[in-house]
Amino acid sequence: MAKYFEYKGLPLVRKGNELYYGSMGDPEVVMMQLGGKKEVGGIEVATKVQLYRMLTDESVPVMQRITKTAVKPSLFEALDLAYDWIGHRN
């Protein structure tokens, strides 16, 4: 089995400007789209993160899989909210 980065015990996988938090074997995951960026100390950081809590059931149409959305000004705040949405069930 492939080993992924984790945040508070759940997988965190990046694909381009998207991050997926949670396991596809669970009922829901959180997709985060990284929006605006700025440079801080020579490192690029996100200034806008759009979150989508989504069902993993592929039989449900894509747009109906989204159960909750939010926007946060940093990746840290986005991950914290994502954990609140899906992390407490584990």
Give the phi and the psi of residue 72 in degrees, each rounded to 5. -130, 150
What is the total count of domains within the chain?
Answer: 1
Q: Which residues, 6+ apart, have CB-to-CB distance to 37 below 8 Å? A: 44, 45, 46, 47
- What's the mean per-residue pLDDT of the chain? 91
Which pLDDT value is given to residue 51?
A: 97
Residue 24 lies in a domain: yes
Question: Over the stretch 16-58, which tens digit does the pLDDT of each residue have?
Answer: 999 999 998 999 999 999 988 888 899 888 889 999 999 999 9
Domain that holds residue 70: 6-89
Residue 1 lies in a domain: no
